[in-house]
Amino acid sequence: MKTIDDLQVAGKRVFVRADLNVPLDGTTITDDGRIRAVAPTIAKLVERGAKVIVASHLGRPKGAPDPAFSLAPAAGRLGEILGQTVAFATDTVGESAASVTAALADGQVAVLENLRFNAGETSKDDAERAAFADRLAALADLYVGDGFGAVHRKHASVYDLPRRLPHAAGDLIATEVRVLKKLTEDVKRPYAVVLGGAKVSDKLAVIDQLIEKADRILVGGGMAYTFLKAKGHEVGISLLQEDQVPVCLEYLARAEKRGVEFVLPVDVLVSSEFPDLKTKAPAHPDVVAADAIPADKEGLDIGPKTRELYAAKLADAATVFWNGPMGVFEHPDYAGGTAAVAKGLLDSDAFTVVGGGDSAAAVRLLGFDENAFGHISTGGGASLEYLEGKTLPGLAALED
């Protein structure tokens, strides 16, 4: 796979497929991590005299313009980070895009409006996608893929466009691939994996693979309650995917057979009400044993004994991959489990990888130094699919 160091970019129009899919509160960016992650690639191209055209998706608009999903706030924030004015095109392949990109001088940057305002970006129809990719290709001379969070999508800007232009991987994608190889090839052991998040179904495929590779798998978050149910425990009104219980039982049996530690919570924080995430009003949760959750209560975070247990299981690890929070970390009363895992990673001497948007957001929200971790991934779904052994369309297109 070529990198941007292999391209001659001076004076060229370089299309950078970035991932600027940041969370917004109205027009206010609440977490700019993805913008900061791609900024070094853009800055490098600027320094080398490229005319940089940045494109991304944001949210899930329905193939038509929607002001709620405009990339204008992201363009403004990118300009602040780069320390220069960033032009903004109010469309992707229309008059504004054509005029804004044509006006770029060497070393200048423009951001196109949300790619998903065009139905061709996400179309399942190859011809419709190709037609949109042709129009994007007309704007540029070279293509740089640096939106790792989108490489698992067979979308026009990710898969079809690099087939139409000389292309290379940006520094962010190159780093992501290098890091993920450390989790799949010649892994330093003990190898511990921490999985959280809401739905066990989102993680089943990666668990299936990790049972073959990891030494320990620690489970928290909403997905833990389906595993606890599989063990025969009452989970009250906790998040539960009843249809996944048989699969969880199978994975627990496989892990035991292979000698992989499969560690579940031993205590949890419970409440009869979901916390108010806007006011952050005190929740006053109870701590109960994981096998004694009251029928009218919901598990919302791992408990203090589980936090100690998980920290101990991470202490001697040489490699740690963490994907998914341990509870409703957005509320201070339920952030302790996620914070304990983050601290456990930092206290170990392991090579640590934080994967997934929620985990990365939690690290920032809870005040941890991002640079203290080995790597914070920008692609939750893409990272998981890579670990599952799937071919990612965006990476395949860059390797051609």
Specify burial of residue 251 (Cβ count, 10 A radius: 0-12, 13-18, 19+).
buried
Is residue 34 part of the annotated active site? The answer reads yes
Selected catalytic residue, list 199, 231, 254, 343? 199
Q: Cα–Cα distance between 269 and 155 in angstroms, integer?
A: 41
Element (H, E) at 287: strand 286-289
Dihedral sign for Cα 214, 218, 222, 223, please: positive
Selected catalytic residue, list 12, 13, 17, 34? 34
Is residue 199 part of the annotated active site? The answer reads yes
Is residue 343 part of the annotated active site? The answer reads no
CA atoms within 13 A on the CB side of 314: 28
- Which residues, listed in sequence order, are joined to residue 86 by a DSSP beta bridge? 109
Selected catalytic residue, list 220, 222, 355, 357? 357
Is residue 145 part of the annotated active site? The answer reads no
Element (H, E) at 165: none
Q: Reading across the β-sheet that carries 375-376, which strands appear in turn?
A: 261-263, 216-219, 191-195, 319-323, 351-355, 375-376
Write out the catalytic residue numbers.
34, 199, 357, 381
